[in-house]
Amino acid sequence: MRTTIVALVAAGVPLLFAGQTAGGSAACPANLANGIKGLGGASQLITVEAARYQTTAATLRLWERWRTCWVAVDGPWTARVGRNGLADRRREGDGTTPAGVFTIGRVMYGNAPNPGVRYRFRRLVCGDWWNEDPRSPTYNTFQHVRCGTRPPFRTTTPGLWQEKRAYHHFAVIEFNMRPIVPGRGSGIFLHAQTGNSTNGCVSLRLPRLIAVLKWLDPAKKPRIAIGTRASLTR
């Protein structure tokens, strides 16, 4: 991670943006993060910016809030998105990554040991699933069943513990939660790259992914914003 801004802030050095004077105020820098609305009380932000909706690649950046403005702290890195691009109205199984601003789930998961994240972490074991069955009352939630038994919901993808590469570690992107709408989509994660696109998640190369997961701090109420520049700032 870049440490310049963080080190200056920690040392109590005031940061001045272009057009700002000591003791005065000015508009925030013209960047993507400062143009996004609906970030609530977040002070950490991940942006996943695609050039267009019909793409499988995007640019991922990390931001932190300094006073009332967002400043970049790392990136850009190339991320992969859905095999059918992005969508404002995603549906279960359509191969798109949902566009919008989302929170990060309270628990991170992984087939590998906890790399040192600040979130509660669950090491995956046999019988761990993400329920992707719209007809099930536990749709779009983590579920554990006894290893070797059939889950009480329809499955079309392997169990979480069986996806060793993609789910080396992952964070949950809270799409279609609170409330959960049957059929709108499920299991949207920030996980490790295994190829050129995903089924709807966002993926990063594993070393970058681990760095991001360790950077995320639940006390800072992080958000992830996914879309084109136009869709994110409209």
Q: Which residues pair with 49 in a beta bridge?
A: 59, 227
Residue 166: CB atoms within 10 A of its CB come to 22
**Residue closest to 192 by CA, chosen among 160, 220, 222:** 160
What dihedral do alpha carbons 142, 146, 149, 153 form, nearest 10°? -30
Which residues of the chain fall short of a pLDDT of 50? Answer: 3-25
Answer yes or no: are the C-beta atoms of 152 and 137 closer than 8 Å: no
What dihedral do alpha carbons 222, 183, 98, 218 form, nearest 10°? 10
pLDDT value of residue 21:
37
Distance, CA of 96 to CA of 116 (rounded, Å): 30
**Residue closest to 153 by CA, chosen among 182, 124, 129:** 129
Distance, CA of 71 to CA of 55 (rounded, Å): 27
Answer yes or no: are the C-beta atoms of 161 and 127 closer than 8 Å: yes
Concatenate the DSSP letters of all residues of 17-74 into one string: -TT--TT---PPPSSTGGG----TT-SEEEEEEESSSS-SEEEEEEEEEETTEEEEEE
**Residue indicated by tokens 């499988």:** 56
- pLDDT tens track for 107-164: 999 999 999 999 999 999 999 999 999 999 999 999 999 999 999 999 999 999 999 9
pLDDT value of residue 27:
87
Would strands 97-98 and 86-87 be described as parallel, antiparallel, or unpaired? parallel
Domain ranges, ordered by start, for the chain? 4-9+38-233
Tell how far CA 92 is from the center of its chain: 18
Concatenate the DSSP letters of all residues of 78-124 into one string: EEE-BTT-EESS--TTS--EEPEEEEEEEEEEESSPP-S-SSEEEE-
Q: How far is CA 182 from CA 99, 179, 185, in A?
A: 18, 10, 8
